[in-house]
Amino acid sequence: MTTHSKIRCSLRRFGLVGGIAIAAVFAGPTNAHKDPVKPEQLKLYQEAFMEEVRKGDLLFHGDQATAEALGVADDLSNTGMACAMCHPMASDTHPQSFPKFQAQIAKFATLRDMINWCIEKPMQGVKIDPESEAMKALEAYITWSNTGSVLQPGKY
Amino acid sequence: MSDELDRIRREMHSVLQPEGARPDDSLKITRRTFIHGSLIFGAATVGQAFAWWPLLNTLDIAHAAETPFKFAWISDTHLYPRSLNTRFVDKVVRAAQEVQAMDPPADFLIFGGDLAQLGKIEELELGVDLLKEIKIPKHYIPGEHDWYLDMGKKWGELFGQPNWSFDHKGVRFIGLDTVSRGPDYWTAKNMTPEERMGHMATLDGTVAGPWAGVGRDQLDWMEKTLADWDKARPVVIFSHNPLYEYYPPWNFWIRDWREVHEVLKPFAKVTNIHGHVHQVLYNEIGTMRSIGMLATSWPWPYAPEGLPKLTKPMIRVDPGDPYDGVGWSKIDVGATDKVETEYIMWGRKEVFVQSPEDHDKHVSEVIRPRIADNMWPF
């Protein structure tokens, strides 16, 4: 093969690859690496989230059945108090400001650290596993209830 | 919502405030003088928004008092059975000891409601037992936590009629029942008394609806009780809930607050002292000023909006210290145009916010109503 014909062949190959690439772009790049989220899937994701929020809401308000179902009935509170007694509608929890230096704990803390501090101190309970379903549910409720709050990381 | 609340309050104020009433600037600010200090603070902090509001009240419950006297206020003890939780018990013991130790002694004590947490017989009896330490006359009004387990049966046995009136040294005192008129949300849903109580005891719950109210019959009773009272003489109204609209999503306010103001409209010197809010609160509408008292049990945060503009906010508290942000109150009624309401906030030399860093609301907050109430079987 002459040098010319080699070049022509390369160009043809390049043209073929380039054409496929251009076609791929027009066909929809999302298909190349990620499936689109269908409305019914989105609905399921939201339902899963709201189910956690609902559980967290009940835990936060001292619902015994939910605490038992999530295995934290003996841990959350030993004073009869519930989170919502100091935080109606999860007010004054400021999830949008974590992580931050938290004065009561005297350390740089996450929201989960703070939830566990409240369980241990005002409610005289026992710290729950930060990865537990109960913690995720509490976090989901607190975050959901404060959805409209402005993100201010690090604010005291 | 706060704009709407402001508009409503302003409207009521313009209807009720007599023409030509001027602020009294002879009053001095001291750490312990809540009423006057709060007004100056309000003027300084809310600036232009404050312009429509009277700078200082023209009222003084002491003006016509025959001789100076003091009384004490304790409320919102939310007692659990001693076996479950002694931290609230300890604080009632402390408050009772301090009231009994007042020198000169207070003329009487007002207990402003929510003696019990879940309305149980043992909780109410525990409260009576702890307050026995106080030997001066005691007058009780009910809170919703005292009432909704047995619909006030035990409370009535212990304390009698929930609304009452008496005169003392030239002042007419009225105790109101703002809790027993809640609409029936339990019968159709076959709730047990414990379930009914549980919903009522949740400040941010939606199941019980706007339950607080005075009721037409009690409004008529108030009118009758005040019919022979000189319009220029002082009237003090005790109520568990505030007598104006304050953040409806939390069950603070009474739904017929406008009617209450209508009854009190002819009287020039009306002071409302209320519990339920567990926080320092001050408001004026027409000729009535309202003062919110501390709980001994726990402090509530301020609502994200709708706080009366004349409130000088209480300092943010340390939730790790059960004695912080809570306490009781002394009210001095002087013979020389002076009333001082002193918050006995344990563990704090300063009661009011002095700097922006100490203010609860410097992190902006938008919160949503609960959903569990709607998704639950009830």
Q: What is the pLDDT of residue A148?
A: 87
Residue of A nearest to B371 (CA): A54
CB-based contact B372 A58, cutoff 8 Å: yes
Which residues from A are below 8 Å from B120, CB to CB? none
Residue of A nearest to B324 (CA): A122
**How far apart are the C-alpha atoms of B302 and A146, rounded to whole Å?**
15
Q: Is the pLDDT of residue B144 over 60?
A: yes
Q: Is the pLDDT of residue B194 over 70?
A: yes
Q: What is the pLDDT of residue B351?
A: 86
Ranked by mean pLDDT, the top range of A147-156, B23-32, B113-122, B341-350 is B113-122
Which residues from B are below 8 Å from A89, CB to CB? 204, 249-250, 367-370
Number of domains in chain B: 1
Position B378 in a domain: no
Residue B352's beta-bridge partner residues? B314
Q: Is the pLDDT of residue A17 over 50?
A: yes
Which of A54, A66, A152 is the best residue to mutate to test the B interface, defined by the most B CB atoms within 10 Å of its own CB? Answer: A54
Q: Which residue has the higher pLDDT, B365 or A20?
A: B365
Which of A55, A58, A92, A121 is the best residue to mutate to test the B interface, defined by the most B CB atoms within 10 Å of its own CB? Answer: A92
Q: What is the pLDDT of residue B39?
A: 40
Q: What is the pLDDT of residue B284?
A: 84
List of residues 6+ apart from B239 with CB closer than 8 A = B112, B141, B175, B176, B178, B254, B272, B273, B274
Position B14 in a domain: no
Residues of A near B (Cβ–Cβ under 8 Å) read 50, 53-54, 57-58, 61, 63, 79-81, 84-92, 94, 96-97, 104, 117-118, 121-122, 144-150, 152, 155-156
Residue of A nearest to B199 (CA): A61
Of A80, A121, A146, the CB nearest to B319: A121
Position B211 in a domain: yes
Find the mean pLDDT for residues B153-159: 98
Q: What is the residue range of B192's domain? A: 32-368
Of A48-52, B102-106, B268-272, B276-280, the range with the lowest mean pLDDT is B268-272
Strands (E), B287-345: 288-292, 327-333, 339-345
CA distances from B242 to B134, B222, B252, B264, B338 (A): 26, 17, 7, 15, 23
- Under 8 Å between Cβ of B371 and A52: no
Q: What is the pLDDT of residue A26?
A: 57
Q: How far is A43 from chain B, CA to nearest CA, in Å?
A: 17
Which of B370, B374, B376 is the best residue to mutate to test the A interface, defined by the most A CB atoms within 10 Å of its own CB? Answer: B370
Q: Which residue has the higher pLDDT, B24 or B296?
A: B296
Both structure tokens of A86: 């100091």
CB-based contact B320 A147, cutoff 8 Å: no
Of B117, B299, B370, the CB nearest to A80: B117
CB-based contact A50 B371, cutoff 8 Å: yes
Residue of A nearest to B323 (CA): A122
Position B182 in a domain: yes
Q: How far is B85 from chain A, CA to nearest CA, in Å?
A: 5
Amino acid identity at B338: K
pLDDT band at B51 (very low <50, low <70, confident <90, very high): very low
**How far apart are the C-alpha atoms of B8 and A140, rounded to whole Å?**
36
Q: What is the pLDDT of residue B50?
A: 32
Place of tokens 């319009």: B231
Q: Is the pLDDT of residue B205 over 80?
A: yes
Of B63-67, B88-92, B110-114, the range with the lowest mean pLDDT is B63-67
Amino acid identity at B145: H
Residue of A nearest to B319 (CA): A122
CB-based contact A81 B298, cutoff 8 Å: yes
Both structure tokens of A62: 């001292």
Residue B284 is part of a domain; what is its CATH number?
A: 3.60.21.10
pTM: 0.84
List of residues 6+ apart from A49 with CB closer than 8 A = A140, A144
Of B298, B357, B370, the CB nearest to A86: B298
Q: Is the pLDDT of residue B364 over 90?
A: no
Q: What is the pLDDT of residue A29?
A: 53
CB atoms within 10 A of CB A50: 15
Cis bond upstream, residue B104 (ω within 30): yes
- Under 8 Å between Cβ of B65 and B169: yes
Q: Is the pLDDT of residue B268 over 50?
A: yes
Average pLDDT for chain B: 83
Q: ipTM of the assembly?
A: 0.83
Position B375 in a domain: no
Position B7 in a domain: no
- Under 8 Å between Cβ of B263 and B219: yes
Position B155 in a domain: yes
Find the mean pLDDT for residues B356-375: 75
Average pLDDT for chain A: 85
Coil vs helix vs strand at B112: coil
Position B12 in a domain: no
